[in-house]
Amino acid sequence: MEAVLRVMFLGTASACPTVSRNVSGLAVSRKGRHFLFDCGEGTQRQMMKYGVGFSAGDILITHLHADHYLGIPGLLRTLTLQGRQQPITLWGPPGSSSVLRDARDLGGDRLSFDVPVRELGPGDAIEGDGFRIEAFETDHGKVSVGFALVEEDRSGRFNVELARELGVPEGPLFARLHSGEDVVLDDGRKIESAELVGPRRPGRRVVYTGDTAPCDRVAEVAVGADLLIHEATFGSSDRRRARETRHSTGAQAARLAVRAGVKDLVLTHISARQRGARDLLAEARAVFPRARLARDGLEIQVGLDDEENRTTDAHARDRATAGGGAGASAVQEAGDQADVRTRQRPGLLGRLGGRLGAGH
């Protein structure tokens, strides 16, 4: 049975949470292994809200801006209160160990499980069963990395009809032939695996950039990716600010997706400065028509071979039910407009949001 590969967006805002978006957090699961890519404040609540569960064994941090790792202390203490025993490994870019240990130890409470801290630099990888997670260099003005989940090549397609015509009994012999083993039938005939199994097929590739300006290394890692999750903090009208803060616009992310020949592009890390993200998405789709905008609660099941990547949207579905059937895009547009109003509000919340997001 093929491994299911799922991605759930837990937080899609830049710098600070907004009315409709939490800060960075991405849950990735494959065949019993669960990972968190970035863990901004409030990630533990997003995990509960969207039914991700608390089975992650690895938390991978792209860089040490607060909106990407401040959720670690709360998450670890919640897991302790629930009696967790299994260890969780914290991974960060080169030079991050001291800060991540401080985040782990914040509060002084004794954890009920081990939390080793490791560094994962460009070219390093976490090995899994049939896949690996590779770190690669990004361009964010400080030490930063992105992560690519890369599956091993898979066996070719097994020709069931031809196997039946050759008299191969269904069952264990099918599996042995598909795995590359030649077999001998009861009548003495030798059946070679190469007769029945096609050429090996490439595994899936999911690339998550974290925060970055457009850069060649991301394009190289993303070549042929089934899913590229690229930050798009700004629209084109703010491209100067994007350049100054080492971020990307939606159009820039789309151009990189075209260059890399990816199947699907999802834009995330959206600044509340955007007056609704519809214009940002339109700019991206003018370059890469399959681009879409991430929302908190968006889940993508990455397809195999020529299968489409399948999406569900828990947040929009719940909001639509409560709001009389509004579509997902309409629900998110309303949330984005509320985010803009919050930033413009002259009260404490508006001033605080503006200060926390000053670079975004």
Name the pLDDT band for 345 (thresholds 50, 70, 90). very low
Q: Hey, which residues are catalytic here? A: 67
Within this chain, do residues 103 and 188 fall inside the same structural domain, yes or no? no
Q: What percent of the chain has pLDDT over 70?
A: 86
Within this chain, do residues 114 and 255 fall inside the same structural domain, yes or no? yes
Angle at Cα 217 formed by Cα 213 and Cα 220, nearest 5°?
125
The model's pLDDT over 93-129, given as tens digits with 9 standing for 90+, comes to 999 999 999 999 998 889 999 999 999 999 999 999 9
| pLDDT score at 200 | 85
Instruction: Choose the final residue of a domain: 177, 196, 215.
Output: 196
| H and E: helices and strands count for the chain | 13, 17
Q: What is the mean pLDDT of residues 320-346?
A: 50
Within this chain, do residues 192 and 212 fall inside the same structural domain, yes or no? no
More confident residue, 155 or 85: 85
Within this chain, do residues 57 and 191 fall inside the same structural domain, yes or no? no
Residue 249 has pLDDT above 90, yes or no: yes
Task: Say which DSSP state 158 is in.
Answer: B
| pLDDT score at 314 | 73
Nearest of 222, 323, 242 to residue 283 by alpha carbon:
242
Name the pLDDT band for 350 (thresholds 50, 70, 90). very low
pTM > 0.95: no
| pLDDT score at 272 | 86
Contacts of 246 (CB under 8 A, 6+ apart): 139, 140, 141, 211, 212, 213
Within this chain, do residues 180 and 295 fall inside the same structural domain, yes or no? no
Nearest of 170, 164, 247 to residue 213 by alpha carbon:
247
Within this chain, do residues 108 and 187 fall inside the same structural domain, yes or no? no
Q: Domain residues for 190?
A: 160-196
Within this chain, do residues 148 and 164 fall inside the same structural domain, yes or no? no
Question: Exposed/middle/buried for 207, CB within 10 Å: 0-12, 13-18, 19+?
Answer: buried
Residue 172 has pLDDT above 70, yes or no: yes
| pLDDT score at 316 | 56
| pLDDT score at 356 | 43
Q: What is the mean pLDDT of residues 57-84?
A: 97
Within this chain, do residues 69 and 146 fall inside the same structural domain, yes or no? yes
Within this chain, do residues 147 and 10 fall inside the same structural domain, yes or no? yes
Residue 343 has pLDDT above 60, yes or no: no
Q: What is the mean pLDDT of residues 236-242?
A: 94
Query: Cα(293)–Cα(14) distance, rounded to whole angstroms?
Result: 14
> Backbone phi, then psi, for 155, in 5-degree steps?
-60, 155
Within this chain, do residues 68 and 101 fall inside the same structural domain, yes or no? yes
Residue 14 has pLDDT above 80, yes or no: yes
Average pLDDT along the chain? 89
Tell me the chain's radius of gyration from C-alpha atoms. Answer: 23
More confident residue, 168 or 346: 168
* CATH number for position 112: 3.60.15.10
Residue 337 has pLDDT above 70, yes or no: no
Within this chain, do residues 126 and 262 fall inside the same structural domain, yes or no? yes
More confident residue, 314 or 71: 71
> What are the residue ranges of helices labelled H in the chain?
43-49, 72-81, 97-105, 160-165, 172-178, 193-196, 216-221, 239-245, 250-260, 278-285, 314-322, 328-344, 348-356
> How many structural domains compose the chain?
2
Query: Cα(51)–Cα(61) distance, rounded to whole angstroms?
Result: 22
Instruction: Choose the final residue of a domain: 168, 196, 224.
Output: 196
Name the pLDDT band for 278 (thresholds 50, 70, 90). confident
Within this chain, do residues 179 and 227 fall inside the same structural domain, yes or no? no
